[in-house]
């Protein structure tokens, strides 16, 4: 199945402690866990999603897939932009969202992690 914005939005919101907002205007939907960004979806022009990524894995993904590029307007060492073309499967995007979410959660303060774990 091809990844689409509404499915990606639903998947992001299904994760524990996630909120969404438009802090950069109507064109970019931002997902945060405990106030820390883990995903940004471009809603204008060519649709894409920015996701945090382990630096070594980020390079490997860019070398493996032509639709994965260095993070647009982000730290290119730690973020990838995935262009949502017909080649991109929902399973790939979901696994990369999981990775981004997990990286951000690992960096939360212990008190924030404890609070997140208590969320139903």
Count of domains observed in the chain = 1
Q: What is the mean pLDDT of residues 17-45?
A: 94
Q: What is the mean pLDDT of residues 105-117?
A: 93
Which pair of structure tokens corresponds to residue 42?
């471009």
Q: Would 65 be classed as within a structural domain? A: yes
Q: Would 114 be classed as within a structural domain? A: no
The edge-to-edge listing of strands for the beta sheet with 36-42 is 18-21, 28-33, 36-42, 48-52, 79-83, 68-70
Let me know: does 13 contact 38? Beta carbons within 8 Å: no
pLDDT at 99: 97
Which pair of structure tokens corresponds to residue 28?
């970019």
Q: Which residues contact 28 (CB under 8 A, 6 or more apart)?
A: 22, 40, 41, 42, 43
**Residue 67 belongs to a domain with what CATH number?**
3.90.1150.30
Q: What is the mean pLDDT of residues 60-78?
A: 91
């Amino acid at each position: 199945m091809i990844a689409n914005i509404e499915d990606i939005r639903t998947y992001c919101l299904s994760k524990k402690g996630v909120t969404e907002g438009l802090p950069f205007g109507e064109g970019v939907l931002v997902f945060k866990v405990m106030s820390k960004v883990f995903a940004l979806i471009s809603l204008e022009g060519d649709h894409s999603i920015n996701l945090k990524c382990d630096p070594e894995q980020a390079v490997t993904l860019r070398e493996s897939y032509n639709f994965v590029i260095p993070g647009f307007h982000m730290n290119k060492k730690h973020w990838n932009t995935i262009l949502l073309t017909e080649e991109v499967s929902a399973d790939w995007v979901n696994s990369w969202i999981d990775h981004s979410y997990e990286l951000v959660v690992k960096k939360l303060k212990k008190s924030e992690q404890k609070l997140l774990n208590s969320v139903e």
